[in-house]
Structure 1
Amino acid sequence: MKLSTFVAAAALLLTTACQHKLAVQTPNDPPNTGTTNPSSSLTPAPTSTATNIPVPDAAVATFDTTARPPWLQAKIQKLQAEEKSNPPTQIFRYRYRNQVVYYETGPCCDQFTNLYDSRGRLLCHPDGGLTGKGDGNCPDFTKERTNEMLVWQDPR
């Protein structure tokens, strides 16, 4: 179909629709009648109350900033100086094997995540990689971790 034919068909369709004075109702509009199916009293009419669930603003999220070790502060500054990753990098604090650990999410797709001890030494890569199971050095991390606390998330 030629472009000019397509444009003419679209214009005719729009003109026809406008002439018929079509009205669009959303689920939040009050109903025209008491039920959605006039022959049945079992089907309730839609309400005019909004049914959207608000999503928290990431920029307003509160983080656990208590007792961030210096190495972690430096790591966060380095991440902020780099190009933004998609999805945004997050750092969580957990208890794992009777110690405080820090879990850094990976940028995307087959990239390893990092698990650090409280002094900033890399312990393992709990997940990610080609298999999604990390490097195999802490296969119980997902099951055994406790006390999850979001420490930082890239706000960009």
Structure 2
Amino acid sequence: MRKYNRTKEELDKIIEFVEEDFPRHHRKVEEITVDTVLTPREAIDLAKRYHQEHGLDGTVDERIESLLFDEAYTFKINPDDRENDDIRPAWRVTVDLEPNPFLFEDYTLIVSDPDKAVMGMLDANGHPVSEGNEFTDEDIEYIMSDEETEKDKA
């Protein structure tokens, strides 16, 4: 991990930037400052349809007051040219999970406003979920069990 030796002034500037930038990514419906393609209800309906079609766990939170809007969601980073990152407005729709011993937090469906489609998912920590980095039902069952597999015994 890279260490930084920053001055107090540099840290203050970073904190100021984060405090100014954060609201742009987590606006309540009444705080949106740009024109949107979708209405809040349409964004929730798209998330519900995606949730159903993909057989996801949990229940889509349909309350408009819990909906968040991100004026500049980063869908994809271009490491060679950060000026060409794929940044678009998006709705953040929460999916509530039933409490259980392993999966105990909600996740978020990202609905692209201009594309009118669910374009991604964030885990409870706000990290993007993509193919290959999620647990399967079998993984969870194994983690929760006390049984050893043949591979574990070897």
Report which of the two has the higher share of helix.
2
Bigger Rg, which one: 1
Report which of the two has the higher share of strand.
2
The TM tier, using the shorter chain, reads under 0.3
How high is the TM-score relative to the length of structure 1? 0.25
How high is the TM-score relative to the length of structure 2? 0.25
